[in-house]
Amino acid sequence: MEFKDYYKILGVDEEADLKAIKTAYRRLARKYHPDVSDDKDAESRFKEVSEAYEVLSDEKKRAEYDQLRRYGSGGESFEPPPGWQRGTGGAGAGPGMDKDFSEFFSSIFGGGFGRGARGERGPHSSEDFHSTRGRDLEVEMPIFLEETLEKQQKTIEYQLPRYDETGRAAPQRKTLKVNIPAGVRDGERIRLKGQGAPGFGNGPAGDLYLRIRLVPHPLFDVLGRDLNITVPIAPWEAALGARVTVPTLDGKVQMTIQPGSQSGQRLRLKGKGLRRREQRGDLYAVLKVVMPDTINEQARAHWEALAEKQAFNPRREWENAS
């Protein structure tokens, strides 16, 4: 296993006092906290940082670590010296901790303890090791817009973290059938009680959260419960008006374009948006006037005639501005 240089991880030197270690931890925690950071490696970086802080902020653990560091940091791989007495924790490796620290950490200090454990269950405390609730898990659930209109049955597969008797990680694949209610929103979480990581000792299993991700649609953009679709129209359709067929999530509909319509104009198709409870949002058709790729001779003559006959200056506003 790799030797972890906690001083390097926190960016402090070996002589750093507790105050400097705290400051370094706070700075890095703000930067890499997975609830705050968009960084892809945030979670693993934060784990490293809190592990380093756990050790270096505790006088006793720091002394033990310093001793080992002198012994083992030179080589490529690290094993605790023979006869090394695991530190103050005394519990087996791994499961049940809110902070699942590295194998390196467990090999030195054991596992299953955290900062500030007290008699009551507060936001600071890690739990009583002998009866610990399993961790909550989160799984992303991609859903097509079309699928949000009606209740859907979906099968999800995910890894359930488990540990064998020796405390080694032995994850297990789990499959569940779930009913996704109609009208789910992007980013919404659905909780499946007791389907998370198994508890330790007599502790109950954690929960599983499904995080809904609406798959981007090639035609429709989501705005709350409404949808937008961009409708390309020919210049003459904008000028003269037209009936066009517009796709919606539940089939095609006919839409009337009024004569003299503008590019960017929005037309509302009521009740063709996403479902929210018993209601449906609307679909907004945004017009986009598009020129033909090529103009033949005959058409060109018509455009020229139009240019002569229609008194129109599209840049009239500029004249007042300059």
Partner 1 sequence: MSLDMHMTVTLHEASHALELDRHYVIEIVEAGIVEPQPRNATPEDWVFDADMLNRMQRACRLYRDLELDWPATALVLDLLAEKEQLQRENHRLHRLLRRFIED
Q: Is 130 in the site for partner 1 (CB under 8 A)?
A: no
Give the span between the Cα atoms of 156 and 71, in whole angstroms: 47
Query: Which pair of tokens denotes residue 320?
Result: 């007042």
Q: Candidates 8, 60, 130, 193: give the one binding partner 1 (CB under 8 A).
A: 193
Residue 262 near residue 233, CB atoms below 8 Å: no
Give the span between the Cα atoms of 53 and 31, in whole angstroms: 15
Per-residue contact string for residues 163-182; x = within reach of partner 1 by CB under 8 A: -------------xxxxxx-
Q: Which residue has the tokens 């796709």?
A: 247
First to last CA, the chain: 71
- Phi and psi at residue 106, in whole multiples of 5°? -65, -35
Task: Compute the C-alpha angle 46/48/53, nearest 5°.
Answer: 95
Q: Is 223 in the site for partner 1 (CB under 8 A)?
A: yes
Q: Is 226 in the site for partner 1 (CB under 8 A)?
A: no
Query: Which pair of tokens denotes residue 70?
Result: 């002198």
Q: Is 122 in the site for partner 1 (CB under 8 A)?
A: yes
Q: Is 201 in the site for partner 1 (CB under 8 A)?
A: no
Q: Is 189 in the site for partner 1 (CB under 8 A)?
A: yes
**How many amino acids of this chain bind partner 1 (CB under 8 A)?**
44
Q: Is 20 in the site for partner 1 (CB under 8 A)?
A: no
Q: Is 228 in the site for partner 1 (CB under 8 A)?
A: yes
Q: Candidates 67, 264, 268, 271: give the one binding partner 1 (CB under 8 A).
A: 264
User: How many other β-carbons are positioned within 10 Å of the β-carbon of residue 124?
Assistant: 11
Applying CB under 8 A, which residues contact partner 1? 26, 29-30, 33, 35-36, 46, 50, 120-124, 127, 133, 136, 153, 176-181, 186-193, 195, 207, 209-210, 216, 221-223, 228, 230, 264, 286, 288
